[in-house]
Structure 1
Amino acid sequence: MNSTCNKFLLLSFIVAAFFVSCRDSALQPEASANIKQVGKCNGSGLLKSTQSDSCFVYSFSNVLTIDFCVIGNCCPDSNRFTSTYSLTNDEITIKIKDTAPNLCKCLCRYIIHAEFYDLDSGSYKVICIDGTNNENKILYNKLVLRKL
């Protein structure tokens, strides 16, 4: 009888542990993102300024919203960029690639808009990379803080 009782207690413990672990993972949705080019060419007059001249702005409460600039050829000026992202611990990496043909002899500044949902942490290191031609040039390396 003691053996039956021990087996029952062990089985009860295993089932309880399973439900607790399932409940915790079900309560925390996985982070997701939407990243896109906003608008078309924003002119070439500002190209003499550096990338660090505050072309990176964000807001972070429930959703982390980031706008940053990248430079690309003037034409065509829509749908130039593809994007990927990774989220590891408290670091978000956004990688942009210019995949459109370079049909003109001019450069433009474009705005990339990113929204991240269901983030757990109150702060993240955000790294924006230009991956065009596999160069992986870091455009921005910023710390973003959630507003309370």
Structure 2
Amino acid sequence: MNSFEPHITVATVVEQDGRLLFVREHQDGELVLNQPAGHVEFGEDLMQAAYRETLEETAWQVEVTDLLGWYIFQPFKGAGVYYRACFVARPLKHDPRQKLDRGIEEAVWLTPQELSALQAEHRSPLVARCVSDYLSGRRLPLDSIYQHPWPLQQG
């Protein structure tokens, strides 16, 4: 039996005035578009990770309001498998002085039509799928996720 190490990631769909928040980031020497997203860190719950990644990549503080869904993606046979928990969040406050994460070129607000016209730049098919699910009205309650409390660290 083959085992593998899954990649647990989070992403957020953030809307303001009919535009959605994305990042232009470097991947394999190219600029690509993605939702604010990244890996969950040890000791972090999924919603904390979504908040942190959005803040680090866009300089926007957000309120995570809903779970959009779980998305599983393998870029090619033999590649790692990514398990993405995508959340819906509303923007609260932007800090234009905050430096963005390494690899992030800029945060951009795009209409769904603008995003669609840039499909060749999407980091993965999950970018469009998450937007499609969001626009269809999909929302799952946050309490559909249960995380048992992390044990206290022993000193």
- TM-score (ref. length: structure 1): 0.26
- TM-score (ref. length: structure 2): 0.25
